Structure 1
Amino acid sequence: MRTDDPPQQAGDDPLPPVRDVLTAIATGLWRWDNAAGVVTLDAEAARLLGLPARAQTLTEAGVRSRFHPVDWNEIDGIVQLAVAEGTLAEARLRIMDEQGRRVLRIVRSRSKPIVDTATHSYELIGTLQEVTEPPPGAAHRTPVTGDWRRSREAFLLDAGRALAEAGSTEEVLRVAGGLSMPGFSPDGLGVFGIEGDRLKVIGHHGHKPGDDTPFMAMPLDTDYPAAEVVRTGRAVYLSSPEEYHERYPATWPLAQRFERQSWAFLPLTVAGRTMGAWLAAFAYPVSFTPDERSVLTTVARMLAQALSRAGVAESERELTEGLQRSMLPLLGPRIPGMSVAARYVPTGGGLQVGGDWYDMIPLPNGRIAFVIGDVQGHDVRAAGLMGQLRIAVRAYASEGHRPDAVLSRATRFLSGITDGITGGSSGDTAGDGADPRFATCLYVEADPATGVLEMARAGHPEPAIRMADGTVVLRAAAGGLPLGIDPDADYPTTRLVLEAGETMLVCTDGLIETGGHDLDSGWTRIRKILEEYDAAGDGGDGDGLEELADTLVQAVHGPSSHYTTGTLADRREDDIAVLLLRRTGRPELRTAARRTVLTVAQAEPERIAGARQHVRELLHDWADPDQVDSAVLMVSEMVTNVLVHTDGDALLVAEVTGEPGMRRLRAEVSDSSDDLPHKRHPGELASSGRGLVLMELLADAWGVDPRGDGKSIWFELHEGSGSPSGEA
């Protein structure tokens, strides 16, 4: 820094030396070297800081001790703004005494940052001048007073929070349009992006429809402030129409018609890259003090980050929707005699992709296969495995294999591809820590003409049947291990008939367990929805099935704008896949009965509990609870006797007919043994032999019928009969 001036020569400028002028007006000079951390002062600058009036060099800490701490914190932000914009750093600062308790004076600092682009360090060269009071009308906007500062900080916190929560570009623009800056608020806003070598108007606020037309697709080399901001990455402030017209005469007519008085164009920068520009236009003159520029710059940075996040999120959503649409099928043409509806809603976390899927496959024999499955996980790999497994199952089904054979081949397929990922050579450990996956699956082969369903289950939740009168029962289906665990696993087939007016629900566990539910409480929630579904209201043709599918999904995570194949909704814990199959037509009088069929195999004695539960569900509205308990006890005894005294499986058929209050329950258990049971008289300590005795005591009617391939034992209960008749 110069400390003296050469003597004036003849012919030189007659003005007095600069130092003499500065001394005459009590203005000091100073230089702040940011890299070295030192500040050099001339004598006047030292005096203004309360130091001895001589030129001296101090450390940054030594100078900082002379300023009010609040003002020092403020000057740092102003300097950073000036460095970023290449403008002057101007601030008012309170000078404190040595104890930091009393304000000696207020000084105004004006400095110019000189940036070293190689080291990114800078020097400030500027002046200090004592002032007596803030400029009129601007006290509330200067660092000297705290009220405006506190309002600004509160505004920035609220704006940052609102922009951080915006999940789409539309939401970001809506938040930006509603910002009310402390002390000065623009009445016109615009956000420009870049599309090739042209500006693109992303959104605007405070303008009429069509006002943005002249600015659409404007070349970046246009003499327009937003284009200059995008080219240079530096803000442009225009405090008056005259300044706008002088600096940008070519595009001034475009802005003139809006009758604004001041404009700020700021770069939208993310990770050092300018992605667009933000326009804030004011209906009154704004001088753009350092404080005002600081607020605008901070908002522009937050807006750029929010727009960048929203753009990434929207790209991910578009990618996810395309991925899910490509992996999930559209339901085929209408099936004569049956109606089908399906929903898929992916998880709300991460990329919102997962392993749930469903499919509908035309078979060579004229039947239709319905498949629903769930690959473990909610990530891209789960979605990839799901796509491969769905294609494999479709291929096996299209070859004409039976349900058990389809799943047997599918488990070998999944085991093979996961072993290929996690295995490797015997001495190779590169696969250690890889993530093997399994999948659950339910495969149903349906005959639309007869309503016969043959299903095989691989660790998947069992289907639910809604009967024509609204009774809902879980239909037991024999099953095996999930796919991919044991390549040699077997999958037995279960056969049942879907009567006219009955609806079958199959789903993944996301529909059941989301919201903190387990299997039991989750099924209770779903049962209530199915029971309240008005199947008669759709005219018997199944059109109301779409509404039922929406209702089931909404019951898990609330309403959303859409729930269709491959679409996204609100955040949820797990993927949801739902498949509904209804046999259309009006139920005939014979088929209006409630009917359930269940096979209990020798190897599955635990299904006796399922048989008891089926009877209770069948009799959910029976008038006499004691008769319900009796029916459950007798069914349990009949099924247990078959498993204990024969080598075959037990087939339970239970049917309820008649009008409420006068209904009849007939339960029949068949087996392949020709040995007829006989009534015994067990002692008190006997562990068996009481089955027929119980039926004689509890049933209204019972009997044993020989058949060509075995026998059946049956009983009847009549609703409202009170005590049993004991007739055989």
Structure 2
Amino acid sequence: MRHHDPLPAEKVPEVLSILSIGLWQWDTANDRITADAEAARQFDLPAEPVELRGAELRARIHPEDWNEMLGVVQLAVSENTLAEARIRVMDGGGRVLRTLRSRCRPSYNAQRDSYEVVGVIQEVSDPVPGATPQGPVIGDWRRNREAFLLDAGRALAEAESTHEVLRVAAGLSMPGFSPDGLAVFGVEGSRLTVVGHHGQPQQDAFPFTQMSVETDYPAAEVIRTGRAVYIRSPEEYRTRYPAGWPLAARFERRSWAFLPLVAGGRTLGAWMAGFAHPVKFTPDERSVLTTVARMLAQALARAGTVETERELTQGLQASMMPRLGPKVPGMEISGRYVPTGGGLQVGGDWFDMIPLPGSTAAPGTGGRFALVIGDVQGHDVQAAGLMGQLRIALRAYAAEGHPPDAVLSRASRFLQGINDSEGADDTRFATCLYVEVDPGSGALTIARAGHLDPGIRLADGTVLLRPTAGGLPLGIWPDADYPITEFVLDRGETLLLCTDGLAETGGHDLFTGWERVRDVLEGSSDAGDMEELADTLVSAVLGPASHLYTGPLPDRREDDIAFVLLHRPSESEESRAGQGAARWPVRRMAATVAQDEPDRIGDAREELRQLLHDWRDLDQIDSAVLLTSEMLANVLMHTDADATLLARVSGPEGSRRLRVEVTDSSDALPHRRDPGELASSGRGLFLIEQLASAWGVDPRGAGKTIWFELSEP
């Protein structure tokens, strides 16, 4: 042959034979392997061209090497690279005859769902035992790699957050070629984000954040194509990615691997492993990197799901966790809610504090309020959602001014309607205890729907179960009746409302559980501190310091726990708290103006002036009389009901507060109008808005109350 002449095709086998290189082909669709004479000789067959079935060749190869070769071929097809593997040829007695090195170019035939492989093999000497040169994984590489992958898989499986996953990935020591820098890229829309990195200062991530996926950068290409990118040298990086090279040059690395993070068939991002030494990225090394990338993608996807669930749980807790309202003068209130051990951390138990309309004081300043505690059947998401709906319904019915029995009756019909719409398979019921509280007198009005009776701790420390009349749980019968029980919470006494979880947790039944709660209440020295008493109750049921624990609690907690403590301080307790000097005499007046007695409006005006005889601001007295007269006249003019007037003056002299309420039995609400200059009516609400410090309209069970307040300057 002359110089520069191409090598004739018929001479290729001869040249390969001279170099002791065999040529072979493999078609998996027909399960046919064709080998030339040199390849047949190396497989310990007669030195002549031969055609074999897959099982015939497999019988001459070490089982581990056959499986390894299959994996390398599949990896090379997915990455469109060469496949390289070491193959040990065995004799009939199980001894290793020789070790071959196979290099091939596999391709995938989608129509036949098969692989077509063309490659060469050459005999190589076994590596020296214990040798660990930098670069390709040699020596006892199989055992090292398998041990590493097992450890990496276990560590990544135990990581519960994205931060923990990245920390584990940064600590992975790959056999023979550990990277000195790692980065995980995510994708948001059409832009890259840096999820986390290791091996470089924090500020070095800035140039890579918010980078377009169309950028000439390896991670962007990986996300676009879903294929790994291996860069063996800085020269190759600069040639393939000239625009991205300036960003990578300052890290002074020698090789890079960028692999896709795929979970559930979706590319989540890309993983970059940077090396301070040159790496050839042999099939063995690529196999290790690809396996780690797959485990890393699964761990990140799992951690993202956990974090999303945690965020959802926290949002549900923030919106649905029980909470108590503002402090009420003359009462101390405390409550606790401890969810069950499920992952959602929100269940069907709840309690609530509801300011009631028609009070003689503004909410939070001593007016009437309701305490509600309940338990929806179940401990799942549906129970939590149903609890939220029922809680809103109870608030709405209470805000309309209905008495306790009417509130529960309406709530039962509401829940029955939900059950009817959901079908028989999703029927749920709920127990509930509704207590209307008058802080001034300590009077309690209770309605009970299948719930536990309340407990009372007397002033001397004795704890009793207070039997109350009750009806069926909510949602069972739409027309159920709920009788009312009334009694007075005397000074120094404490009311306990709880769900059955407080009693039954820890293997107790209701009887033995109540005995445990009673012993805790009677033995506690926190007679007036409701927060300390609440913590003591939780600790007695779940263990010390459990009220401070925010994570999943021990499995011995079978049910949600919810309870409320309502304490009416004794006079000595109020004195110790410095509240005694804050109690001032309250002056009241009440009057009724019937439809056929319009002259009584004048008498009411005069009584109000007498009530305000020592009020400092004379203009405010005139305003109060005018507004009261206007409200009474509106009732007689626009409704068929009688008007009831209640006026109350409270607070120390010089900073007193006047509250005037006019109540009628009509459901028609007042509306503000814009009368003309010559109109003789229609200015009532306008006057109230201009002259009163505060005003409002409170619907009641039957009728409404319109009120205004004035503050003494």
TM (norm. structure 1) is: 0.70
Equivalences for residues 98-113 of structure 1 within 5 A = 99-113=92-106
Deviation at 1:277, TM superposition (A): 0.6
After superposition, residues 528-607 of structure 1 pair within 5 angstroms as 530=521, 535=526, 544=532, 555=543, 558=546, 562=550, 573-584=558-569, 587=572
| Pick aligned residue for 2:170 from 153, 172, 177 | 177
Q: Distance in 2 between matches of 1:466 and 1:544?
A: 15
- The question of whether the paired residues in 2 share the 8 Å contact of 1:451 and 1:583 is answered with yes
1:121 to partner: Cα distance: 2.8
Write the deviation string for residues 30-77 of structure 1: whole angstroms up to 9, x where unpaired: 112223322221221111111122222222111111101121122222
**What's 1:164 paired with?**
157
Amino acid at match of 2:266: R
Does the aligned pair in 2 maintain the 1:142–1:148 contact within 8 Å? no
Question: What is the rounded CA distance, in whole Å, between the counterparts of 2:197 and 2:3 in structure 1?
Answer: 61
- Residue 191 of structure 2 corresponds to residue 190 of structure 1: no
Query: Which secondary structure does the structure 2 equivalent of 1:485 belong to?
Result: coil
Q: How far does the alpha carbon of each residue in 1:587-620 deviate from its partner, in whole angstroms, 9 at most, with x for none?
A: 4699xxxxxxxxxxxxxxxxxxxxxxxxxxxxxx
Cα 1:455–1:160 shift into 2, 3 Å: farther
Corresponding position: 1:509 with 2:500: yes
The AA in structure 2 aligned to 1:233 is G
Q: Match for 1:492 among 473, 483, 504?
A: 483
What's the counterpart of residue 436 of structure 2? Answer: 445
| 1:400 counterpart = 2:394 | no
Asked if the contact 2:136/2:176 (under 8 Å) is kept, the reply is no
Q: What does 1:471-490 align with in structure 2 at a 5 Å threshold? A: 472-490=463-481
For residue 455 of structure 1, give the secondary structure of its aligned residue in structure 2. strand
Q: How much has 1:89 moved relative to structure 2?
A: 1.2
- Distance in 2, Cα, partners of 1:543 & 1:154: 54
8 Å CA contact 1:501, 1:535 repeated in 2:
no
Residue of structure 1 aligned with 2:43, choices 40, 46, 49? 49
2:116 partner SS: strand
Q: Which residue pairs with 1:154 in the alignment?
A: 147
- Partner in structure 1 of residue 379 of structure 2: 378
Q: Is the 8 A contact 2:535 2:547 kept in 1?
A: no
* Counterpart residue number, 1:37: 31
Matched residue of 1:535: which SS?
A: coil
Q: What CA distance in whole angstroms lies between the structure 2 residues aligned with 1:559 and 1:119?
A: 64
Aligned-partner SS, 1:480: coil
Contact 1:90/1:290 (<8 A) preserved: yes
Is 1:279 the counterpart of 2:277? The answer is no
Cα gap change, 1:475/1:102 in structure 2, threshold over 3 Å: closer, same or farther?
same
1:625-668 residue CA offsets vs partner (Å, 9 max, x unmatched):
xxxxxxxxxxxxxxxxxxxxxxxxxxxxxxxxxxxxxxxxxxxx
- Give the aligned partner of residue 650 of structure 1: none
Deviation at 1:519, TM superposition (A): 3.2
Pick from 8, 14, 19 the counterpart of residue 20 of structure 1.
14
Letter in 1 for 2:236: E
Secondary structure of 1:275's aligned partner: strand
8 Å Cα contact 1:107/1:130 also seen in 2: yes
C-alpha distance 573-175 of structure 1, shift in aligned 2 (>3 A): farther
Counterpart AA for 1:356: D
Give the Å deviation of 1:192: 0.8
User: What's the Cα RMSD here?
Assistant: 3.5
Could you tell me which amino acid in structure 1 is paired with residue 381 of structure 2? Answer: V
**Native 8 Å contact 2:136 2:279 kept in 1:** no
- Aligned ranges 1:63-102 → 2 under 5 Å: 63-97=57-91, 99-102=92-95
- Classify 1:126/1:11 alpha carbon distance in 2 versus 1 (closer, same or farther; 3 Å): closer
- Tell me by how many angstroms 1:475 deviates: 3.8
Q: Distance in 2 between matches of 1:510 and 1:206?
A: 50
Equivalent residue of 2:397, what SS? helix
Shift of 1:443: 1.1
Question: Does 1:233 pair with 2:220?
Answer: no
Q: What do residues 232-263 of structure 1 show as CA deviations (whole Å, max 9, x unaligned)?
A: 11112233333333333322232233333332
Per the alignment, residue 460 of structure 1 pairs with: 451
Q: Take 1:76 and 1:200, find their aligned partners in 2: how far apart are those partners?
A: 35
Aligned to 2:304: 311
Q: Give deviations 1:431-461, integer Å, cap 9, x for gaps.
A: 6xx2211111111111112223232222223
Q: How far, CA to CA, are the matches of 1:228 and 1:465 in structure 2?
A: 71
Q: How many residues get paired? A: 565
Cα drift, residue 10 of structure 1? 11
Do the aligned partners of 2:331 and 2:567 also contact (CA within 8 Å) in 1? yes
Deviates more, 1:218-227 or 1:241-250: 241-250
TM-superposed CA distance for 1:15, in Å, is: 7.3
Secondary structure of 2:13 counterpart = helix
Q: Describe the SS at the equivalent of 2:202.
A: coil
Residues 201-216 of structure 1: pairs in structure 2 closer than 5 A = 201-216=194-209
Q: How does 1:318-717 map to 2 (within 5 A)?
A: 318-328=311-321, 330-349=323-342, 351-366=344-359, 367-422=368-423, 434-466=425-457, 472-520=463-511, 522-523=513-514, 526=517, 530=521, 535=526, 544=532, 555=543, 558=546, 562=550, 573-584=558-569, 587=572
Cα distance change on mapping 1:534 and 1:35 into 2, 3 Å: farther
User: Contact conserved, 2:313 with 2:345, CA < 8 A, in 1?
Assistant: yes
Aligned residue number for residue 627 of structure 2? none
**SS of 1:123's equivalent?**
strand
How many Å separate the matches in 1 of 2:447 and 2:458?
Answer: 21
CA distance in 1 between counterparts of 2:459 and 2:385 reads: 39
Confirm or deny: 8 A CA contact 2:451 2:499 kept in the other structure. yes
Give the equivalent residue in structure 2 for 1:593: none
Q: 2:214 aligns with which of 218, 221, 224?
A: 221
SS in 1 for 2:325: coil
Contact kept? 1:341, 1:549, Cα under 8 Å: no
Q: TM-score, structure 2 length as denominator?
A: 0.71
Q: Please report how far the alpha carbon of residue 168 of structure 1 lies from its aligned counterpart in structure 2 after TM superposition.
A: 2.6
Structure 1 residues 234 and 458: CA distance shift in structure 2, 3 A: same
Cα distance in 2 for partners of 1:185, 1:532 equals 63
Distance of aligned partners of 1:588 and 1:93 in 2 relative to their CA distance in 1, 3 Å threshold: closer
Task: Please give the secondary structure, in 1, of the residue aligned with 2:274.
Answer: strand
TM-superposed CA distance for 1:278, in Å, is 1.0
Partner of 1:644: none
- Contact conserved, 2:134 with 2:177, CA < 8 A, in 1? no
Contact kept in structure 2, 1:66 and 1:96, CA below 8 Å: yes
Once the two structures are superposed, the pairs formed by residues 713-724 of structure 1 within 5 Å of their partners are none
Q: Does the 8 Å CA contact 1:74/1:143 hold for their aligned counterparts? A: no
Contact preservation (8 Å) 1:499, 1:587: no
For residue 527 of structure 1, report the CA deviation from its aligned partner. Answer: 5.2
3-state SS of 1:179 partner: coil
Deviation at 1:25, TM superposition (A): 0.7
Displacement of 1:495: 3.5
Report the Cα distance in structure 2 between the residues aligned to 1:404 and 1:388, rounded to whole angstroms: 19
